[in-house]
Amino acid sequence: MISGIWKWADRLGSVPDHSSRVTLGEGDTPLVPSRRIGPAAGLSRLYFKLESSNPTGSYKDRFAVAAVSHLLDHGVQRCLATSSGNTGASLAAACAVAGLPLHLAIVEPAPDDKLRQMLAYGASLSRIRGFGLDPEASASIFAALRRLAARPGWALEVSAYSVSPDGMRGVETIAFELDEQRDGAVDHVFVPSGGGGLCLATARGFTVCRASPAIHCVQPEGNNTIAGPLREGRDHGRRADLCTTSISGLQVPNLLDANAVIAACRESGGTGHAVADDAIYSLQARLAREEGIFSEPAGAVALAGALKAAAGGEVDPDAVIVCLVTGSGFKDGASLSRMADAEGVPLRELESFEASLG
């Protein structure tokens, strides 16, 4: 049995030799129907694609195994990468399997829980001041990383088509799976977006599938670089002067795949949706308490967009709507503290516990 994304090798364009292909057992993630949130919003066929069930807890495993496999195929000896968390964890795991040293330039506000996961896999980490917050600083950092990775034996991996197209082809397998799981019947896919790579990969993946859903780009209001321009009818993304969202993983003030995302979403019939951080945190809690889905905040962003579209009458209530849940709740301990404070759990005697049950 072929494991991971390589099940779809015939759709992935140029693929590495079999001897270079790395896998973590990624992909084949569940698609589950909403039992409570969808019906409460009048959506009869709302589904969640649980990318949080990938081996390191996020969809970025699809990117990482494709990227690292291509590095091995090209004889690369050292990998340099950027991350706000999930890309770093996925690349660290894939590089550990491949035996490649990984050096990560981390955005300044990355959560400690994500950093610990990268360190556990053996990656070398450095937070870079201003990275992920200030667009000028972020642009300078990217330029420096490109220069450093141009040295012999090195390569730069960033989860964006503009930098790492080979790795991003692995993310297109999300669309292949949705098409297979729904037997070609998908009407809308809502996708959380920072730099836009996931949104673009989803749209491109569906171009070789039976289904041709509208692909919607959903962003936090504090990093509205793509969703707003898309909805306004513009052809180009809008760089954020200052990224103000607290949603980890979606703090990308610079335009990476933005223009291509706008074109692909518009061609599919989708549009952009900007949502507030507070709404995202609220839905993170609702996913856990009403659907049993343990998501990091970024994983609740797509749902926020879908519910906003439903409330505005922008989607048919009977349409098949899929929200991508991109990462596990274990990725962001601070958001869990917002939702559930373990220090508030009482220590009781057995008799007191029995009495509390009535």
The answer to whether residues 153 and 243 belong to one domain is no
Asked whether residue 352 is assigned to any structural domain, the reply reads no
Q: Taking residues 120-142, report their average pLDDT.
A: 88
* Mean pLDDT in residue range 301-329: 97
The arithmetic mean of pLDDT across residues 68-85, rounded, is 93
Residue 33 lies in a domain: yes
Q: What is the DSSP letter of 11?
A: G
Token pair in block for residue 256:
């990476």
CB 67 within 8 A of CB 94: yes
Q: What is the dihedral of CA 344, 347, 348, 354, to 10 degrees?
A: 60
Q: Which residues contact 260 (CB under 8 A, 6 or more apart)?
A: 161, 196, 200
What does the block give as tokens for 137?
């600083």
Does 199 score more than 90 pLDDT? Answer: yes
Residues 158 and 176 in one domain: no
When divided into structural domains, the chain yields a total of 2
Is the domain of 44 the same as that of 85?
A: no
Residues 185 and 312 in one domain: yes
For 304, residues 6+ apart whose C-beta sits below 8 A from its C-beta are 218, 273, 275, 279, 280, 283
Domain boundaries, position 16: 4-58+167-339
pLDDT of residue 239: 87
pLDDT per position as a tens digit, 82-101? 887 899 999 999 999 999 99
Tell whether 94 is covered by a domain: yes
Q: Read off the pTM.
A: 0.94
Q: Which two tokens stand for residue 315?
A: 């989607």
Query: Is 48 in the same domain as 178?
Result: yes
256 and 151 part of one domain: no
Domain boundary among 149, 164, 179: 164
- Say which DSSP state 181 is in: H
Cα 31 to Cα 325: distance, rounded to the nearest angstrom: 10
Q: Which of 116, 148, 164 is the last residue of a domain?
A: 164
pLDDT of 340 over the 90 cut: no
Looking at the structure, do residues 49 and 78 belong to the same domain, yes or no? no
Answer yes or no: do 29 and 133 share one domain.
no
Of 164, 195, 216, the one marking the end of a domain is: 164
Q: Do both 174 and 159 map to the same domain?
A: no
Domain match, 299 and 218 both: yes
Is residue 1 predicted with pLDDT exceeding 70? no
- Please compute the mean of the pLDDT values over residues 250-262 and round it to a whole number: 90
Distance in angstroms (rounded) separating the CA atoms of residues 352 and 207: 60
> Distance from first CA to last CA of the chain, Å, rounded?
53
∠ CA(197), CA(33), CA(299), 5° rounding?
A: 35
- Per-residue pLDDT of 160-176, as tens digits, reads 999 999 999 999 999 99
Pair (196, 335) in one structural domain: yes
For the domain that residue 147 is a member of, what is the CATH number?
Answer: 3.40.50.1100
| Confidence class for position 342, pLDDT limits 50, 70, 90 | low
Give the neighbor-by-neighbor strand order of the sheet with 78-83.
124-127, 102-106, 78-83, 154-157
pLDDT at 343: 66
